[in-house]
Amino acid sequence: DAKTTQPNSMESNEEEPVHLPCNHSTISGTDYIHWYRQLPSQGPEYVIHGLTSNVNNRMASLAIAEDRKSSTLILHRATLRDAAVYYCILRDNFRDNQGGKLIFGQGTELSVKP
Amino acid sequence: GAVVSQHPSWVICKSGTSVKIECRSLDFQATTMFWYRQFPKQSLMLMATSNEGSKATYEQGVEKDKFLINHASLTLSTLTVTSAHPEDSSFYICSAIAREGYNQPQHFGDGTRLSIL
């Protein structure tokens, strides 16, 4: 599985934007970039995913580099509820025949200060 | 929409007993469900992939006789930890993918905290 590299931890201030980076230099052409987050003592929650173009949804934006070797998850205004571990995961729907399993790395632990 | 429910939320039992954890997709049909395990301060580790009506596919190093998975319907998968021991104590999490979406996200349950005394 193609691997991703994320900082172990990041800090942000409440109501300020947060940019969470992810490096995936060995990404293949059919790998989608998925982001999930996990709040304490809960199961992960889907945030966003994309292939080549930047993506926006109600939770966040995903900016994908032109060469696709890195991406950035953008939280436009961090709240205390956004404190979580954020996982950047590559998922290839074509190579595996198991509906796209996710292999989690260590993720980035985001803390939000009031 | 896309709610996955896990039951029980937590369980404490004696060493040697078997424990069953249920994972249900409440408002969609799930062709595929996944089971993960998470130890404190660590990331999620995929244990197995469960497809409705067929045998589960286990990840390397996961004992299939220890962790029995049954995906009997499009809305229910169960994980049974057989003859549980203290080292099996962990946070077990399931997820599901909707039948229609090949590139759809996984929807996760809230996990089951298992403590073996």
Cα separation of B79 and B74, whole Å? Answer: 15
**Between the CA of residue A32 and those of A25, A40, A61, A70, B45, what are the distances in Å?**
13, 26, 15, 12, 20
* pLDDT score recorded for residue B52: 81
Which residues in chain B touch residue A49, judged by CB atoms under 8 angstroms apart? 103, 105
Q: Strands (DSSP E) along A2-114, which ranges?
A: 9-13, 18-23, 31-38, 45-50, 55-56, 61-64, 70-75, 84-92, 108-113
* pLDDT score recorded for residue A15: 96
Please give the single-letter amino acid code of residue A31.
D
Q: Which residues contact B3 (CB under 8 A, 6 or more apart)?
A: B25, B26, B27, B107
> Per-residue pLDDT for B99 more than 80?
no
**Between A99 and A38, the higher pLDDT residue:** A38
Average pLDDT of the residues in A75-79: 96
> Per-residue pLDDT for B89 more than 70?
yes
Please give the single-letter amino acid code of residue A29.
G
* pLDDT score recorded for residue A2: 63
* pLDDT score recorded for residue A100: 72
The predicted-structure confidence for A34-61, as pLDDT tens digits, reads as follows 999 999 999 999 999 999 999 999 999 9
Tokens of B21: 């954890």
Which residues in chain A touch residue B60, judged by CB atoms under 8 angstroms apart? none
The alpha-carbon gap from B51 to the nearest alpha carbon of chain A, in Å, equals 8
Please give the single-letter amino acid code of residue B92.
Y
**Between B2 and A14, the higher pLDDT residue:** A14
Q: Choose the mutation target among B26, B45, B108, B110 for the interface with A, i.e. most A CBs under 10 Å.
A: B108
> Per-residue pLDDT for A92 more than 80?
no
Nearest-CA residue of chain B relative to A43? B110
The predicted-structure confidence for B21-64, as pLDDT tens digits, reads as follows 999 999 988 888 999 999 999 999 999 998 888 889 999 999 99
The predicted-structure confidence for A15-33, as pLDDT tens digits, reads as follows 999 999 999 999 988 889 9
* pLDDT score recorded for residue B30: 87
